[in-house]
Structure 1
Amino acid sequence: LWVTGKDIYVSSDHLSSGSVLYDDLGLAKPKLVEELSKTGTVSWNQVSLEKFAQMDADYLFIVNSRGVSKDELLKDPVWANIPAVKEGHVYEFDDHSSWLYSGTIANTQIIDDVLSNVVK
């Protein structure tokens, strides 16, 4: 996820960090990601808050360009029913991280970020 201002963007399942998460690392694709990826033509697809509330992700990786902490974001009741939030599987990265980019170095850093946070 990329959170900017009041907007939430979801990575396409076959571009940018989505390709790393779902193709390289084999994480399960949330239904919302599959749906947006079918019609989206960009790496990051904007999603409404109402639609985001349907996210069925086991893990959330947030690129936060909003200037509000992860804890502040998670106080919003819309986030409460998302499985990743319920299980405490929400990880935050700043907007200078590799998550907004693609290429060998960026993809390797994304893999390292996931492994260092998820695999304990």
Structure 2
Amino acid sequence: MIRVVLADDQAVVRMGFRVLLEEHGDIEVVGEASGGLEAIDVVRRQRPDVVLMDLRMPGGDGIAATREITSWHGVVPGGRETAVLVVTTFDLDDDVFGALEAGADGFVLKDCEPEELVDAVRRLAA
């Protein structure tokens, strides 16, 4: 089972992602966050395989949260590393480069096809 945390400031987006992902029997959403600082806390507690991270959120942006989460890789003894998939509305070069520099493992736009999102989650979990 692939464990996922959703981090997006829009509740309707989180709900849509949850429904989309959980209709596939191999993905379980184990937590949600509406801001970057909350995302860090939820990921720390849940240790998911993948976190879907929005970039622009109140309460700490997604790039700073990504940087914090990816800084744990290799630090937690016996801990699972969490892959970060940035899912955003904006495809600005600064956003892409900022997310990748912060350690994001992948980047998709919110207007992608549903199967593209599911495929990205599965690839990062593998």
Higher relative contact order (CA 8 A, sep 6+): 1
Q: TM-score, normalised by structure 1?
A: 0.47
Q: TM-score, normalised by structure 2?
A: 0.46
